Amino acid sequence: RGVYSQLLMEKRPVYTGLATPLALDYIPGTWVQGIQISKGASTVQNGPQSITGQINTEIVKPAFDKPFFLNLFGSTLERAEANLHLNKKWNEGWSSGLLLHGSTTQGKFDRNKDTFLDQPTKNSLNGMFRTFYESSGICSQFNVQALYDERESGQLMPAGAPNPEDFYRIRQENRRVDVFGKIGYLGFSKPMTSIGFIYNAAWHDTDNIFGKMAYRGTQRSLYANLLYESFISTTDHKFNIGASFQHDDYDEFLGETDFSRRETMPGVFAEYNFGRDGSVHENFWDKFGLIAGVRLDHHNLFGTFVTPRLNLKYNFSDQSILRISGGRGLRSAQIIAENIAVLASNRLFVVTENLKMEDAWNVGLNFTQNFKLAGRNASLVADLYRTDFTNQVVMDMETEHAQVLFYNLEGKSYANSLLLLGSLEAFKGFNLKLAYKLNDVRVTYQNGDFVRRPLTAPHRALAALDYETPNKKWMFNTNIQYTGWQRFADAVHIPSNIGERPYFDGYSPDYILLNAQVSRRFKQWEFYIGGENLTDYRQENAIVDWQNPFGEHFDAMQVWGPLVGARGYVGIRLWVD
């Protein structure tokens, strides 16, 4: 998940703009029925914003979810969480559901003795009401989601402190309401033909304090997408055509600086899909698949642009698949929300010119090979993707002292990504996965320096071991995560007499995290216990010049590793079928 991958919920863009910093936190895990990931250039149906891929989350449906489900969770970080699902199928057509989430984190820790909390305290409430109707000709759903989230961090302030303003405090408060749904008609006489309408109206309000800097904003958004799907001649040749509309009205202020704006973007699209059912692989066309799409959008601030995308697939056999993709993506950068961590420093935000839309091309391939190893299922996956920016809004916190500059790209900016993944069912119930990820991300600064993006690890790896007993009653899960070195932002402006400077010169160390969980299933309930960061690895020095939080060198955003050490948790799940 990153700003260049598009986050969707049931095929509609969600948590954009002001909601970007905490987007995934707004989707409780128990609500998720499934996640679909499209890597690289993906479909044009959901807008031009996707550059490196799309992540679509499907939320549990009332007709298929359990009538009653309760998940309770607690951890040694003084975190507690509750998730409640209530569902009712009224008849063959109608069903409704209520999803509720509440969580709190109250633990206040300062293990490295820098007077700052190692983790924020949090309180969050999130609820969604859903109503569905399904028949042979019409399908529809209507949803309302509302959430409240507050977080506090900063310096530990003694009780009864006479001058609270002398302490560096961080407070974030977010409130949001979404009303969204779908209407689909499938009653055409022509088979595999349908028309659908997806809509969303959202209101998001944010209020933040970082030390003496206030950041506040309100966003009002409307989204609509009309899609028609059918085929030409035979079902080997499918197509989608449609029109979409996105409107975002921002009242946004950083201190006394007004970043308010109104963005409106209507668009039309067409997509052609060639592919056979895949049951027979006798000739080239049986093995080949193609999705070609193009969008035409008009943005009220940035003009008209065309977004073409192409995805190809070839099945060498049932076990060997090659996918190739390429296409363009464009998006409007939200410079404050997407870089909100910079506010945890005393840098001044400086926009040096009129910012353009971010514009990039992504090309890549994926190869999947499934096979048998000693009679057991195994697979190898290789991904290779490259993103080249025609224009990028560069966030530069290295060129000028005590400033973070935002400007349009002058020169090269690219990201190369390589993923190698192997999985093996070593014996019945025991699965092993090994993965390695290479990220080569570089950008050209305004002064001509072509540098590796700071605090982005080029090397990552994962080993996951999962075992389920034959009777399905016990599950054991372990994963080991490796994070390689990361380049610090240039520390040349930090005076040598600041004690933390040596820790922020050059590169961070690499590190390994160990997580494990054991689950026990019963007929209508389940108990689990686990631990995270079991090696108790911590970044000891996280803040530059923490002794002077209102000074020009204070910087609390150079975080490259976990600040909280080992923690344990327990939980229970209860349900009624």
pLDDT tens, residue by residue, 441-491: 999 999 999 999 999 999 999 999 999 999 999 999 999 999 999 999 887
- Partner residues linked to 108 by β-bridges: none
Task: With CA atoms as reference, report the closest residue to 307 among 295, 297, 299, 298.
Answer: 295
pLDDT of residue 279: 62
SS3 159: coil
How would you label 83-97 residue by residue, b for 16+ Cβ within 10 Å and e otherwise? bbbbbebeeeeebbb
How would you label 152-171 residue by residue, b for 16+ Cβ within 10 Å and e otherwise? bbbbeeeeeeeeeeebbbbe
Residue 399, φ and ψ in degrees, nearest 5: -70, -45
pLDDT digits (tens, 9 = 90+) for 231-266: 998 989 999 999 999 999 999 999 999 999 999 999
Sign of CA dihedral 13, 18, 20, 23: negative
Q: What is the end-to-end Cα distance of the chain in Å, rounded?
A: 34
What are the CA-CA distances from residue 487 to residues 444, 484, 504, 509 (Å)?
15, 10, 9, 10
pLDDT of residue 494: 81
Measured CA to CA, the distance from residue 394 to residue 4 in angstroms comes to 13
SS3 340: helix
Sign of CA dihedral 17, 22, 26, 32: positive
pLDDT digits (tens, 9 = 90+) for 511-546: 999 999 999 999 999 999 999 999 999 998 889 989
Measured CA to CA, the distance from residue 444 to residue 412 in angstroms comes to 6
Task: With CA atoms as reference, report the closest residue to 394 among 457, 329, 327, 441.
Answer: 441
Give the ranges where 193-300 is alpha helix by DSSP (H).
284-287
Measured CA to CA, the distance from residue 321 to residue 117 in angstroms comes to 49
Name the range with the highest mean pLDDT among 260-269, 281-290, 503-512, 559-568: 260-269
Span 155-184, average pLDDT: 90
Torsion of the alpha carbons at 542, 548, 551 and 555, rounded to the nearest 10: 0
pLDDT of residue 280: 64
pLDDT of residue 423: 96
Answer for the pair 43, 56: CB distance below 8 angstroms, yes or no: no
Average pLDDT, the chain: 94
pLDDT exceeds cutoff 70 at 281: no
Tokens, residue 101: 């989430």
pLDDT exceeds cutoff 90 at 283: no
pLDDT of residue 166: 86
pLDDT digits (tens, 9 = 90+) for 485-520: 999 988 777 887 787 777 788 899 999 999 999 999
Question: What is the maximal distance between C-alpha atoms in the chain?
Answer: 82
Q: Give the gyration radius of the chain's Cα atoms.
A: 25
Task: With CA atoms as reference, report the closest residue to 493 among 569, 541, 545.
Answer: 545
Tokens, residue 351: 């926009």
Measured CA to CA, the distance from residue 526 to residue 69 in angstroms comes to 11
Sign of CA dihedral 36, 42, 45, 48: positive
Answer for the pair 66, 83: CB distance below 8 angstroms, yes or no: no
pLDDT exceeds cutoff 90 at 164: no
Span 31-53, average pLDDT: 93
Task: With CA atoms as reference, report the closest residue to 87 among 125, 123, 61, 111.
Answer: 61
Measured CA to CA, the distance from residue 559 to residue 496 in angstroms comes to 20
Span 186-194, average pLDDT: 92
pLDDT of residue 503: 79
SS3 21: helix
Answer for the pair 188, 194: CB distance below 8 angstroms, yes or no: yes
pLDDT tier for residue 278 given thresholds of 50, 70 and 90 = low
